[in-house]
Structure 1
């Protein structure tokens, strides 16, 4: 890419948390929902599943867009590996409660796949971020109250760290933004692989 190119980042995700994270980092991304049916995609492990879904989302959105110079499409997907299971979003409140009763006082690994594609030059880059999450040993009453808010129904692993769920995570090992759903350091590396500094995406 040329250094005088004006860049536009398109986020292939419906996640308000990812968009808010980018905005806080100075990147005002456009969002286009891919419409990919995640339930139809299977994989043997969380690493592969998160990356496959991120790739599908990015490529699906990229196929709808004109090939404008400087347009970059980013797909992301997060899943939690816990106790030999791959946990995406819970199907309902009952499942979220069951998960939390199993997870409390224990740890899991949050995987977030990232796939970046350049519409004009055809470059593609991808990587998976991993963060160890240590859950607090919370009570049944706290679990019920948390699930009642419906926050855990809309996120991978049935928890967040940037909302009410943050009080129920004792600590993490790794990148916090990865747990929110988009690793900013990882995005910087992917952009650098395209010869683009992340600072070129900053908005005033």
Structure 2
């Protein structure tokens, strides 16, 4: 049995679509402990911090999957928006631009530990201001790194995906399947 140490509905959906048997363990992580120096190291430090916090509560579990994602737009690290104004500013940084989504994963199995960083670039059309407002009003951006929702708001604005779409959704499922 694989234990998903994440509250992400997107990661849950990816595992279900890939027919990977798992049990979700929701842990409230303090993601503010990682220093925002550059997107690559930030997301890796965050998932390592999640690992530390998780195993402080569940020291004996094996077959654990931890993950974290961040968005980078115009050299700015975008984490989860705390309010509508932050979400609006994040969307403005992304509109008509290329953004990078970085997903770090730690897979701890019985006899090995895999640590991976995957990247997916999205080239986006300019957002319609009315669509942006409706998205913000819906609060669907909540809990989403960079307020990015590839399966929702952003879907119709994606001109090109470079990398695995699953990475943009929060977990490189193609790589994960190779190790299971």
Q: TM-score, normalised by structure 2?
A: 0.91
* Conserved 8 A contact 2:80-2:142: yes
- Map 1:3-152; keep pairs closer than 5 Å: 8-65=1-58, 67=60, 71-118=62-109, 120-121=110-111, 123-152=112-141
Q: Deviations over 1:122-167 (max 9, x none)?
A: x321010101111221222121111111112220011111223312
Q: CA deviation at 1:66?
A: 6.2
Q: CA deviation at 1:104?
A: 0.7
* Conserved 8 A contact 2:127-2:157: yes
For the pair shown, the structure with the greater C-alpha radius of gyration is 1
CA distance in 2, matches of 1:59, 1:125: 15
Alignment-derived partner of residue 178 in structure 1: 167
* Conserved 8 A contact 1:55-1:114: no
* Structure 2, unaligned runs of 5 or more: none
Question: Secondary structure of 1:157's partner?
Answer: coil
Q: CA deviation at 1:63?
A: 4.2
> What is the root-mean-square deviation of aligned Cα atoms in Å?
1.8
Runs of 4+ deviating beyond 6 Å:
none
CA distance in 2, matches of 1:87, 1:29: 29
Question: Secondary structure of 2:63's partner?
Answer: strand
* Conserved 8 A contact 1:115-1:126: yes
Q: Deviations over 1:75-121 (max 9, x none)?
A: 10000111111111111111111221221110111100001113x54
CA distance in 2, matches of 1:158, 1:66: 33
Number of equivalenced pairs: 180
CA distance in 2, matches of 1:43, 1:124: 25
* Conserved 8 A contact 2:69-2:104: yes
